[in-house]
Amino acid sequence: MFDKNPKSYTDLLGKTNRIVEGTIIKGDIISQADFRLDGELIGNFQSKGKIVIGPAGKVIGDIICRNADIEGKFDGKIEVMEILNVKAKAKIYGEVIVGKLSVEPGAEFSASCTMKANVKNLNPGDGKQRPEEKIA
């Protein structure tokens, strides 16, 4: 009756966590579902889903996620397994590791950028390929 199994990622599809404008979080966030941030995060973020940083949103820290749309400010290291969309009003600083990158004209993109064909096979946090996956 009270046994609740953790929901799988597929059960969480279509559900989004949201931090509204004016909210400041200091610390790390780990989420299985998608996430929209219109407030401020000073810390790290990790998700198996998508993060959207709205126009008023700001992140100072590291992000690891499947997909990301950034319209606000980001300063740190971001690892996106699939697609990073950088909107026209976005300001990105730091280090970017992505599978695919889309940058709209007008965006401020002052970051080192590494595109990986298969970011899913990265060792967490070190940005390096595993030995068995090196290209010959």
Question: What was the pLDDT predicted at 118?
Answer: 61
What are the sequence ranges of the domains in the chain? 17-122
Write down the pTM of the prediction: 0.76
**HSE-up of residue 114 (Cα within 13 Å, Cβ side):** 15
Q: Work out the angle at residue 69's Cα, subtended by the Cα atoms of residues 101 and 121, and round it to the nearest 5 degrees.
A: 55
Question: What was the pLDDT predicted at 65?
Answer: 96
| pLDDT tens digit sequence for 10-53 | 555 567 889 999 999 999 999 989 999 999 999 999 999 999 99
Question: What was the pLDDT predicted at 4?
Answer: 56
Give the C-alpha separation, 52 to 58, whole Å: 11
Give the C-alpha separation, 51 to 81, whole Å: 12
